[in-house]
Structure 1
Amino acid sequence: MDILVIGATGAVGTCLVPALIAAGHTVHGSARTPDKASQLESQGARAVTVDVFATDSVTRAIEASRAQAVINVATHVPALGRAPLPWAWTSHHRLRRDASHVIAHAALAAGTDVLIQEATSLGYADAGAQWITEASPLRPRGPVATVPHAQAAAAVMSRAGKRGITLMFGKFYGEDVMTREKYHAVRRGTPVLLGSPHDWVPMTHVESAASAVVAALDAPSGIYNVNDAPVTKAEIADQYSRVAGRETRFYPQFLMVLSAGAEVYGRSQRVSTALFEDTASWRPRVTSFADSFAEVAERW
């Protein structure tokens, strides 16, 4: 299958491109710089230039690549130090709110069969220790304010009789900048966690995310949760402390009532992936956060 990947050089895209090629697909990936284009070509993909905010540009890219599937995993998550600032999320929200709909309408106009759109399960409301499913309510605000826009973009395809799929990923970790930033913050003694140690967090290794996207190519339209086995914040803190050699600190609880972003990251979200596992015959690549995180940290 010919596939166009938007966000092909990001945290998920870097793992996704080789996974798609290994599955026998021909991959065309968006690249914003010559260095990123070279990165894609070294992986065996074909680099394309596309303005994700212009329908004509996206349509031309889809038609030129003869893409039967379009995958949008483009994000712009701010660095750890800027994440608490509401305006730091402007570019990320614009990608979810505007670009996702441009891509969906372009895919429809170009006759694409399937669109896979990323979103985040951090958009679900706090549910304590209760399991969260795809039917659970969202609470879109702060960093996750545009989750409904991503879901609506995929629905553009399904309403037209095509396949539109939204994958609700957890917090990414792996060989990415954000994971390293948190590790170094712990070593400096800077707090990195919000909420209670008993809270649940949906974590998604970037390799699990990539394998889920490949599996979703054959899935029916819908919204699917995708994460590794949920872990508590206490477990996450223990692992960061172990590899960083310093106690992992939590931010003060009062911050959660002062900031929408703090409230989002202070939620407890025990997210179930049973629907996607059953529908797509998928299993996460990582079954133990502790083992996987330790393996990643050894390479830093």
Structure 2
Amino acid sequence: MRVLLAGASGVLGRHMSAALVRSGHEVVGLTRSPDGARRLRDDGVEPVVADLLDRDGLLRAVDGQRADAAVHAATALRKPPMRHSDMTATDALRVWGSRNFAEAVQAVGARRLVVESMHFGYGYGDFGDRVITESNTPWAPPGRTPALERHLEGFRVKEHVAFHTEGVEGISLRFGALYGPGYGGGGSDAIVEMLRKRALPVVSERVRGSLPWTHLEDAGTATVAALERGRPGAAYHIVDDESASMTAHVRYLAETFGTPKPMTVPLWVIRPVGPYLHAFLTTVARLSNATARAELSWEPVYPTYRDGIKALR
């Protein structure tokens, strides 16, 4: 297939692109900057420079292009978000960028659209010990606060666009917290560097928080599987087999890479300086990947975050 990939120059996008190319597909990568275009050329990807939030410019940029399928993996995150405002640009890409990209997908003649999503689309909070499947928990319910609602609107709109764009078969991949080898200092490389500088504290293990995790390479192979074998209108959990707290994950990174142990701070310190991070750290969600295993014939190469971190050495 010839695949139009939005967000191709980002850390996740480059893993997706690499997996697609390894599987014999051709990638046309959308990026917002000339620097991103240069990186894509180095990766063997045909670049198209366009901003998803500029509808007219986007449609001009893809004029004359043809593609069989498309992937929307664009975000605006350059570092872990602390405040709700750190998510503003990514929220806009999920709402307005998704709508504009859907028009571009139709313009290039693509028949299949895979969109990147996350477990946080179920909401920020404590879901207890029950295991969430794609059908037993409401997707993107109203947020408890205006700030949380803005984030959930992004997840809600992005999937709605994927599933309801005329002439397009939409599929959503709901990832866990992403980690793994980065490009240009992204991914877990950036976390390890912060640990070396003693610039990344953790909260106490007594804080109830547990997240599903997804290795970036597993995210890439799942994207290929969804394009090749996904069921139109379906959402899939692309997560590993074990949830774990951010504290456990970061401490294992420090142990594995031999960095100084991260300082432990009380949770109450986080809320005033990082209210989004506070919601992140206190969310408890356990997701099943059984549907992806059964329908996509996909399984994580790294079943737990420990396996994935050890492979980074």
> Does 105-114 or 70-79 show the bigger shift?
105-114
Any conservation in 2 of the 1:142–1:264 contact (CA below 8 Å)? no
Q: Tell me, in whole angstroms, the C-alpha distance in 2 between the residues paired with 1:134 and 1:255.
A: 34
Q: Tell me, in whole angstroms, the C-alpha distance in 2 between the residues paired with 1:214 and 1:232.
A: 26
1:170 aligns with 2:168: no
Kindly tell me: are residues 230 and 60 of structure 1, through their superposed partners in 2, closer, same or farther at Cα, counting changes over 3 Å? farther
Q: Look up the match of 2:101.
A: 103
Kindly tell me: are residues 193 and 94 of structure 1, through their superposed partners in 2, closer, same or farther at Cα, counting changes over 3 Å? farther
Q: Tell me, in whole angstroms, the C-alpha distance in 2 between the residues paired with 1:200 and 1:208.
A: 20
Any conservation in 1 of the 2:83–2:276 contact (CA below 8 Å)? no
Q: Tell me, in whole angstroms, the C-alpha distance in 1 between the residues paired with 2:23 and 2:253.
A: 34
1:154-179 superposed Cα distances (whole Å, 9 cap, x missing partner): 1222xx35311111111111123252
> Does 84-93 or 233-242 show the bigger shift?
233-242
1:47 Cα offset (Å): 1.1
1:194 Cα offset (Å): 7.6
1:226 aligns with 2:238: yes
Q: Look up the match of 2:88.
A: 90
Secondary structure of residue in 2 paired with 1:44? coil
Q: Look up the match of 2:163.
A: 155
The one-letter amino acid paired with 1:239 is Y
Kindly tell me: are residues 100 and 247 of structure 1, through their superposed partners in 2, closer, same or farther at Cα, counting changes over 3 Å? same
Secondary structure of residue in 2 paired with 1:28? strand
1:133 Cα offset (Å): 1.4
Normalising by structure 2, what TM-score?
Answer: 0.83
Secondary structure of residue in 1 paired with 2:64? helix
Query: Structure 2 matches for 1:241-280, cutoff 5 A?
Result: 241-243=254-256, 244-249=258-263, 251-254=265-268, 259-280=275-296
Gaps of 5+ in 1: none
How many residue pairs get aligned? The number is: 293
Q: Look up the match of 1:123.
A: 121
Match among 236, 254, 272 for residue 249 of structure 2:
236
Q: Tell me, in whole angstroms, the C-alpha distance in 2 between the residues paired with 1:205 and 1:283.
A: 11
Any conservation in 1 of the 2:203–2:264 contact (CA below 8 Å)? yes
Any conservation in 1 of the 2:201–2:265 contact (CA below 8 Å)? yes
The one-letter amino acid paired with 2:171 is I
1:36 Cα offset (Å): 2.3
Any conservation in 2 of the 1:143–1:261 contact (CA below 8 Å)? no
1:100 Cα offset (Å): 0.9
Q: Tell me, in whole angstroms, the C-alpha distance in 1 between the residues paired with 2:221 and 2:287.
A: 18
Normalising by structure 1, what TM-score?
Answer: 0.86
Kindly tell me: are residues 197 and 178 of structure 1, through their superposed partners in 2, closer, same or farther at Cα, counting changes over 3 Å? farther
Any conservation in 1 of the 2:4–2:67 contact (CA below 8 Å)? yes
1:197 Cα offset (Å): 5.9
1:179 aligns with 2:182: no
The one-letter amino acid paired with 1:38 is R
Secondary structure of residue in 1 paired with 2:129? coil
Kindly tell me: are residues 36 and 279 of structure 1, through their superposed partners in 2, closer, same or farther at Cα, counting changes over 3 Å? same
> Does 189-198 or 114-123 show the bigger shift?
189-198
Kindly tell me: are residues 288 and 111 of structure 1, through their superposed partners in 2, closer, same or farther at Cα, counting changes over 3 Å? same
Q: Tell me, in whole angstroms, the C-alpha distance in 2 between the residues paired with 1:164 and 1:120.
A: 16
Secondary structure of residue in 1 paired with 2:311? helix
Any conservation in 1 of the 2:192–2:259 contact (CA below 8 Å)? no
Q: Look up the match of 2:24.
A: 24
Kindly tell me: are residues 276 and 57 of structure 1, through their superposed partners in 2, closer, same or farther at Cα, counting changes over 3 Å? farther
1:152 Cα offset (Å): 1.6
The one-letter amino acid paired with 2:160 is A
Calculate percent identity across the aligned residue pairs. Answer: 27
1:70 Cα offset (Å): 1.1
Gaps of 5+ in 2: none
1:64-84 superposed Cα distances (whole Å, 9 cap, x missing partner): 33111111111112423xx22
